[in-house]
Amino acid sequence: MSRFVPRIIPFYLLLLAAGGTANAQSTFEQKAANPFDNNNDGLPDLGMAPENHDGEKHFAEIVKDFGETSMNDNGLDTGEQAKAFALGKVRDALSQQVNQHVESWLSPWGNASVDVKVDNEGHFTGSRGSWFVPLQDNDRYLTWSQLGLTQQDDGLVSNVGVGQRWARGNWLVGYNTFYDNLLDENLQRAGFGAEAWGEYLRLSANFYQPFAAWHEQTATQEQRMARGYDLTARMRMPFYQHLNTSVSVEQYFGDRVDLFNSGTGYHNPVALSLGLNYTPVPLVTVTAQHKQGESGENQNNLGLNLNYRFGVPLKKQLSAGEVAESQSLRGSRYDNPQRNNLPTLEYRQRKTLTVFLATPPWDLKPGETVPLKLQIRSRYGIRQLIWQGDTQILSLTPGAQANSAEGWTLIMPDWQNGEGASNHWRLSVVVEDNQGQRVSSNEITLTLVEPFDALSNDELRWEL
């Protein structure tokens, strides 16, 4: 008996350490998993709270486990069995606590999302990856940032944004601002968003404003990001937490806006989108969307979204029972904002042919030969010049080449003294390039200065 007592004392010490470690680990898990359910932490006990016997119950369970283990005939005496059992309990508790600490260290890194989309033609346009990072998170508000890359036919679009969310009663409200950049084409825009999320309804609004000026896309066409807005309402089914429906209205402004990325431009187009999301487990969401334009054009998209939350055990993210919690108002604090990360582009015809006809800056006299100054910019050369106006009376004369802007002259006609005579003449030119494109110049007015000998004798008489 005297030999058994020294052996059993370390056993009880190890049991106490294991019980305390496990109990602390359990408390830590509860705080980490439910940060908003610990408002009474640190408050003094005024004698009104019921007694807590969790520690005694946990210790009794450990003793029971040891009793069941010691009944196995493994060739060890009671002291050795106690030592092995206690060390195993400590090892398991420490292992769980290390895992919990690793998850806690990773939790500030937010969410990583991969969204794969396939359209009618089998293209992956709209597929994206994003990283939602909480910068400052407490019981009152959340300040966050998001980095993302979105696939488009013309290349990758980078999305960088910051925002805030805070609780207002049963709602989570917030705002955000984004900078979207079409990397290959060097086109940019700013996005400004607002959101109000309830337990079963999420409302979002966004406005998009292009930053960059028009950029050359082809020899005859320019492009930029279009200015517009979208409004989205997303509803969660109370009777079946795995399903979400959404409806969205969007409009962009411009003469040739390609809302469906089909190569066809429309004037100030409007589109309505209906969506259905199925979330079997928090990690995976399957999406389907139908987009209908007022012009009759439509588009269908299927998508698969993987949303990994750092710091949350993978078994929870793969559990169907965690879907309701992950999509609740509290569980959606780290969800990505509802916005169109794929920019809509606007196009216009590029000016490949321009002409300017300069007005002579000096006073013109009868019989004076006047050289004409033409400024022509043509990508495809000049086929012909077609002069319009008083060309005959001005004795318009070409240079060495009739299709050249150089060498054109005219001769000012004589002064006209008759009643109703006009000493003003107009002239303009139409330039046609080798592609058949025509453009008209500005119109100039050529005015004669009245000659000295045309003055009447009464005007020459001196008054004495």
Per-residue confidence in pLDDT tens, the chain, 464 aa: 444 444 444 444 444 444 444 444 444 344 434 443 444 444 444 344 445 555 555 556 655 565 555 565 555 566 666 666 566 655 555 555 544 544 444 455 778 888 887 776 777 877 888 999 999 998 889 999 999 999 887 789 999 999 999 999 899 999 999 999 999 888 999 999 999 999 999 999 999 999 978 988 887 789 999 999 999 999 998 889 899 999 999 999 999 999 998 888 999 999 999 999 999 999 999 999 999 999 889 999 999 999 888 888 899 999 999 998 888 888 888 999 999 999 999 999 888 888 999 988 778 888 889 999 999 988 888 999 999 999 888 989 898 888 888 999 999 998 888 777 788 899 999 999 988 888 999 999 998 888 776 555 555 454 44
Regarding whether 328 and 212 lie in a shared domain, the answer is yes
* Exposed/middle/buried for residue 448 (C-beta within 10 Å: 0-12, 13-18, 19+): buried
Angle at CA of residue 454, ends 413 and 408, nearest 5° = 20
Regarding whether 206 and 117 lie in a shared domain, the answer is yes
Cα end-to-end span (Å), the chain: 156
Query: What CATH number did the domain enclosing 357 receive?
Result: 2.60.40.10
Q: Which domain holds residue 368?
A: 353-454
State both tokens at 254.
């411009």
Q: Contacts for 84-87 with beta carbons within 8 Å, 24 or more apart?
A: 85/11, 86/10, 86/11, 86/14, 86/15, 86/18, 87/14
Regarding whether 132 and 76 lie in a shared domain, the answer is no
Number of structural domains the chain divides into: 3
The domain boundary residue, chosen from 329, 349, 369: 349
Q: pTM of this prediction? A: 0.63
Regarding whether 200 and 225 lie in a shared domain, the answer is yes
State the pLDDT at residue 56: 57
Regarding whether 430 and 379 lie in a shared domain, the answer is yes
In a domain, 40, yes or no: no
In a domain, 39, yes or no: no
User: Are 272 and 292 within 8 A, CB to CB?
Assistant: yes
| Sequential DSSP letters for 118-168 | E-TTS--TT-EEEEEEEEEE-SSEEEEEEEEEEEETTEEEEEEEEEEEEEE
In a domain, 308, yes or no: yes
Regarding whether 322 and 393 lie in a shared domain, the answer is no
Per-residue model confidence as pLDDT tens digits over 447-458? 888 877 655 555
The domain boundary residue, chosen from 77, 106, 135: 106
In a domain, 43, yes or no: no
